[in-house]
Each structure stands twice: as structure tokens, then as C-alpha cells.
Structure 1
Amino acid sequence: MDSTDDLSIGQVVKSRAGRDKGRIFVVLDIIDKEYVYVVDGDLRKLDNPKKKKVKHLVVYNTVLQEFKNKIDNNIRINNSYVRKILEPFNKSF
């Protein structure tokens, strides 16, 4: 499950390498087959997303549909919104 065909905007992922190892993120944008932009609203804010290699991510089956819709429709979101939607995942993973 490591190809970008399975990744979509709003997908919940966990970093498996780097300084942010173990952190939960949500996919903000897909750059290409190898890279995506991820945010968590805390360390990685919306105005400074983290460029991450797909192979360094654990991909969960969860897509945050509300987040995806807001991104797709250019509805403004803020960092506290991102933190709030990721909160349940930070507790459970």
C-alpha cells in the first residue's frame, strides 16, 4: 500500500522516518509519485507543510472527507481545525 494511487488528500498518515517519526499527519497535497505535503496543525502548520517521501509514511485507511472537501473547494481552514480533526488519531495510534 505504498503507491500514491492509494493516497489522497485528507488521508491520515504516520511518519515512520525522520525527526517527526511517530507523528500523525494529514495529507495536504500530492506532489508526485514519491512526495506529498503533510500537516498536523502543530509542528507543521498549513502555511509551512512538510514535504515527505511516501515511503517514509505509514498510510492509514482513513480519509478525512470533510478536510478533503474543504481543500478541494478552497474553503479556508486553520491550524486549530487540523489539530482538532487529528486529535482522535493521536490518541488511538
Structure 2
Amino acid sequence: MEIKVGTVVLSTAGHDKGGVFAVIGFTDGDIALIADGKRRKLEKPKKKKLKHLKPLGILEQNIPTQTNRQLKKALMEFNARGGHGR
């Protein structure tokens, strides 16, 4: 699965290892910007190399994710659907 904006990913390395995040953007080359709305807010996303991320699925298109609360809710619903991949 290709990692793009809106992809739900599992962090496989670092302090946030095991955390579930959404990709909200990209910087140069192989660096993704990830956030979960709780520990990593949309205002200050984590920079993470793509090789340290495992794609789990895609957030539903009809779920708004413009605020931290909406993003957190969307990730909880993703996990509730069984999309956590663990």
C-alpha cells in the first residue's frame, strides 16, 4: 500500500513506536508529517521517515479531519472498525 495524505500508519521506530497516526502531509523526499490529534497535534506534526511507518489503511473520505478533535475521533473510529492492523 502506498503512503499518501490520509493514510493511517503505525510507527515502527522511535519514542512513538506502536502509535497509530494519520499522514497529514510530506516534506522533502521520504519524510511524512504525522499527527494523531492527542500527543501530536495538527499544529505541530511529527516528521517521520517513510521507512519507519507501516500503512494500515485509509481514513474515510466523509470524516472531517480539520481539527485535532476530529482527527482523534477519525482514528478511534478507524480502530473500532478493526483497521488497526495489529
Q: TM-score range by the shorter chain?
A: 0.7 to 0.9
How far the C-alpha of 1:66 sits from its partner, in A, is: 2.4
Provide the rounded CA distance (Å) in 1 between the counterparts of 2:64 and 2:37: 15
Q: How does 1:1-93 map to 2 (within 5 A)?
A: 6-60=2-56, 62-66=57-61, 77-90=66-79, 92=82, 93=84
More helix by share: 1
Provide the secondary structure at the position in 1 that maps to 2:61.
Answer: helix
Q: 1:70 to 1:30 in 2, by over 3 A?
A: farther
Question: Any idea what the Cα deviations from partners look like across 1:46-84, whole Å, max 9, x if unmatched?
Answer: 000000011111112x222427x968xxxxx11000000
**Unpaired runs of 5+ in structure 2?**
none
RMSD of equivalent CA atoms: 2.2
Provide the rounded CA distance (Å) in 1 between the counterparts of 2:39 and 2:64: 21
Q: 1:32 to 1:44 in 2, by over 3 A?
A: same
**Unpaired runs of 5+ in structure 1?**
72-76
**Count of aligned residue pairs for this structure pair:** 82
Instruction: Using structure 1 for the length normalisation, give the TM-score.
Output: 0.76
Provide the secondary structure at the position in 2 that maps to 1:80.
Answer: helix
Identity of aligned residues (%): 39
